[in-house]
Amino acid sequence: MEFKTESLTPHCALDNRPLTRWMQYLREGYTVCVDCQPPAMNSVSLRCSGDGLDSDGNQTLRWQAIGNPRCQGTWKKVRRVEQCSCPEVHRFIFI
C-alpha cells in the first residue's frame, strides 16, 4: 500500500539510535510504501490490521513507529500497489 503522510510528531526526527535512524527520513506530505507480511498478516484475509484497504483515501489513519512509541502520526491511503516505487528509505513493513 502507498500512504501519504499527513502529520508526524517531532520525536521522529530527534531519535538518532542506529535502529531508529530511518525515522529521520519521514516528512509530512511524503508518500511511503508499507508492506504487509507474516506474522502481521492475517492468514485468512491475507491483510494486515490498519492497512487502510477499506478506506476511501479521504480517511485519516494513524500509525506508530516500533522502537520509538513517541514517533507517530497520521496518513491517508493513496493506492494499493503490487510493486512499490518509493525510495528505499520510505519503505516500511506492518508489524
Residue 63 to residue 33: CA distance in whole angstroms:
13
Whether 73 and 17 have beta carbons less than 8 Å apart is answered as no
CB atoms within 10 A of CB 46: 9
pLDDT in tens, 34-44: 888 888 888 88
User: Does 18 score more than 70 pLDDT?
Assistant: yes
Cell of residue 58, nine digits: 479521504
Compare 95 and 43 and report the one with higher pLDDT. Answer: 43
pLDDT in tens, 56-72: 768 899 998 888 889 99
- Which residue reads 520525536 in cell numbers? 11
Average pLDDT estimate for 8-14: 89
User: Does 90 score more than 80 pLDDT?
Assistant: no
